[in-house]
Every structure is written in structure tokens, then in C-alpha cells.
Amino acid sequence: MLNNLTKIFAKGDDNIGVEINSQRVNIAQITKQGQQYKLIKNVSADIPEGVYEDGQIVDSLTLSELIKDTFKANKISAKQVSTAVPMREAIIRVIPVPAELDEEELKDMVLVHEAGMHLPYPREEVDLDYAKLGYFMDEDGIEKVNVLLVATKKEVTDLYTEIFQQAELQMKVLEINSFALIRTIREQLRSFSSKEAVVLVDLEFDSTEIAIVVEGVPQFSRTVPIGTYQMRSAYSQAMDLPDTSGTELLNDLDVFDGIEDSGDINSAQLDPGRLALLKILGELSEELSRSINFYVNQSEDLEIAQLLLAGPGAGISQIDEFFTQKLNLPAIKIDPVATLALDVGQHIASDLRPGLGIVLGLGIRDI
């Protein structure tokens, strides 16, 4: 093992998926019975104030105790976990290299030579992993293979290692949250051709992570500092309401009501809160448009086929209709429970399902 991140593409025994974000810790335990996934545990715990600051973990001990206590309270005995860092903490590159290289030559080229060219940090400051993708012929008729290179700073992987060690758990896998999300919806992604790109929009608490995916591989990624926190705060402030921590307030709103067929907002039909919310959503749609245009302008013969909305923010009523109207692209909310044909044993509300994509992807990683 070279470092903590080198297990990102490894296989192993069954384990627990643990998603950490600035709002809560989500835990999923999944088993497989025949051809069907069964959800054994699905629990969450709110992150206390002071654990995160400006989107960064600043109190690892409190977070570790929260994870430890949540495992104990829910009688989860497993000691090995798979977890993920936010996409903003990672560097993801698809690199073409000669197909003739043997495994040692490939490793040396990717982890030494190519990494030095593609990383904005010194090589000694990052943890790396890579995986071979498909073979292809370049324009000169030379056979090559695309390699997926993933890197994150050592200080990030060291922090996550420390958190789980303090929680008396073994971090078996540390990957990127967008990879876990893609794993959850991989059957859905297989319906798109190699000439069709899908925009995966993960609306989290304090940011939105955008990944443009082709054949199940993220080709472009970007984090925008607009999330449910900014949306909820704008609405609450405009309506003179207390600023609560949950997204339930947003999920009950009919975002699309008051918008004309042309996409224009009819202010006379909207209260100040929804006007404020639509302003934030409008800013987010502009950032999405910029990201899509940037990628399309650099890609030949590629079509943006669909937006897939994930994360807790995707539970907002009619947000898929809003983005469809604003971006002139079909947008749908993911339903990981349906996509995985998951036996949940209990009802999970439709507005909560898009927010389970990452933790379920972590939970099924090794099964």
C-alpha cells in the first residue's frame, strides 16, 4: 500500500458506508441476498456546531466521538468502513498513455511523470491512485489506454484516517464522493452512449458539486459555493423566519409556481421568500451553464444528454422542472432506492431519497 488513497479502486470484504458532510454523518449497512440489495441500517446524526468552519473539519475529536456514539446507539458492530472526501478536495484527471506499457512502467509513468504534470501540488504532498479505463486508437493510429488519476492532499487523507482511528474504526477505503454517487446510479448511466455526457449535480449543504460524466467516468468536475444553506438562509431572511438547520422548509415549497412558460418570474405571484430562493437558484443555474459550456467547447461530437440531480437539495419540490426550464436540458432527480432495487424494509420519503446517493454507494462498494 503506497498511501491511504491507493485502496480507492480495491475490492474487499463487506463493510459499512459512512458519509461525512458539514450537516450530518450518514451511515448505511447493506447486504446482498441473491441478486437484491437489502438495507440493514440507515442512520444519520447531525453535526454539532463548531465541528466545521468554512466547509472544513476543524474539530476531528468531536466528530470521531459522534461517529463512535452513533455506531453504539444503533448497535452497529462492524469495525471496517468505506468513506469519501468531497470532490472539491480531489483532483481527477483522465490521462491517455501508451497501451504497450507493462504494469510497472504504467505505474511509474502515471504516479511519477504524469502526476507531476497534472497536479498543482508537489508530488510528496499528495496521495494518489489510478485505474485503467478503455483502450483506443489516437489520431496517429497508436493504441493507447485512458488512465483515471485521482489525487488528494496528504493532510486530507491523514485527517480522515485520524477521525476513524479516534472512533475505533478501520478506514478500509477512502474515495471521492462523486465516485460513490456514480456507483449508485451506474445502471442508470449505462443507458447513455459514449457520445452522450451526463451532468451530475450534487446539491449539498454548503456547496454544489458538478461532475460531467461520460461512460461512467467523471471528465470534468467543479464545486460551486451554493448549497441548501444559502437557499434556506435567503428564504428565511426574506420571510423573517428563524434560520433552521434542516432542508424540510425548502422541500415543502413549490419552486416552479409563479414562473411563466417563457421562464420569466412573475413577481406578483410570489412571496418574498420564494423570490429570494429563486434568485439563489438562478445564480446556481448560471454556474451550471458556465460549466457545461466550458466543457462542451473543449469536446468534439459530444452531446449533453441530461442533468441528474442528487443530494439533499434535490429533494426541493419542482427543482428538476426549474433547471429543465432554465438550462433547456432534461433534468431529473435520482432515486437511488429505485435504481438499486433496494429492499429498505421501511418507507423512505421521495424527497429524502436523492440525498442517499453517496452513502448507499459507499455501502454497496464491496458487494
Please give the pLDDT value at position 260: 57
269 pLDDT band, cuts 50/70/90, is low
Q: Where are the alpha helices (DSSP H) in 142-227?
A: 154-166, 177-184, 186-189
Mean pLDDT of the chain: 89
Please give the pLDDT value at position 116: 84
Distance of CA 312 to the CA centre of its chain: 11
pLDDT tens digit sequence for 179-202: 999 999 999 999 999 899 999 999
C-alpha cell at 351: 424527497
User: Per mean pLDDT, which range of 234-248, 257-271, 296-310 is the poorest?
Assistant: 257-271
255 pLDDT band, cuts 50/70/90, is low
Residue with cell 452513533: 70
What integer is the mean pLDDT of 143-169? Answer: 95
What integer is the mean pLDDT of 56-84? Answer: 96
Between these two residues, 50 and 269, which has the higher pLDDT value? Answer: 50
Residue 77 and residue 73: Cα distance in Å, rounded? 10
Domains of the chain: 89-153 (3.30.1490.300), 189-333 (3.30.420.40)
